[in-house]
Amino acid sequence: MSEIIELALDDAGERMGKAVDHARSEFASVRSGRAAPQLVEKLTVEAYGVQMKVQELASVSVPESRQLLVTPHDATNIEAIEKSIRQSDLGLSPSNDGRSLRLNFPPLTEERRKELVKLVRKMAEEARVVLRNIRRDGRKELEAFEKDGQLSSDELVRAEKDLDTLTQKNETSVDKALTAKEEELLEV
């Protein structure tokens, strides 16, 4: 395989890998009835005059399956973190003991579970669209190489097949992550 094909496929593969990782992190941010630190780590908080993420200001642990414990590194930020959690779309009311915040996750209703499954499916479809866009960009790049005379038409056909295989492999990864998240959401 020529070096330019390898470079183009490596670039597409790296970008697709990042898209799959992003989809997985998006899935992790969807509340499933279980406590997960990812639910609050990305929330922004006004602290020290700037916007910061909870993960920069506090440690987040899971003492029980339906409870998160958020312990600020600096106790003066506890009210700001509490305010951010209350204003988020998590629908949680933290209990503040002066040193840390406890977040109790009530069990999800069947209706809410179905809504979350729809949301996760939409996220998965968005990830698939990103993967297809990366494939399209890779194809354009390969076609430009052929047009410049750096690739033969046979090499282009083989490279496009490799690109399609790479795309299918990454779409399968997204689908597996989606299936796992759906099972987690529908688990009672």
Average pLDDT, integer, range 66-92: 85
Question: Residue ranges per domain, the chain?
Answer: 3-28+109-186, 38-104
Judge whether 58 and 74 are in contact, CB under 8 Å. no
Of 1.10.287.90, 1.20.1250.20, 1.10.132.20, 1.10.8.50, the CATH number of 3-28+109-186 is 1.10.132.20
pLDDT band at 110 (very low <50, low <70, confident <90, very high): confident
Round to whole Å and give the CA distance between 81 and 38: 15
* Domain 38-104, CATH: 3.30.1360.40
Question: Which tokens belong to 11?
Answer: 């670039």
Strand-pair category, 50-53 with 101-104: unpaired
List Cα–Cα distances, 121 to 41, 88, 96, 160, in angstroms. Answer: 23, 22, 35, 28
The candidate with the shortest Cα–Cα distance to 72, out of 56, 94, 49, is: 56
pTM of the model: 0.72
What residues contact residue 138 under an 8 Å CB cut-off, 6+ apart?
A: 8, 9, 11, 12, 163
Q: How far apart are CA 16 and CA 132, in angstroms?
A: 9
Average pLDDT over all residues of the chain: 88
Rounded CA gap, 23 and 161, in Å?
24
Identical fold between 3-28+109-186 and 38-104: no
- Check: CB of residue 49 under 8 Å from CB of residue 65: no
pLDDT of residue 111: 86
Residue 188 has pLDDT above 70, yes or no: no
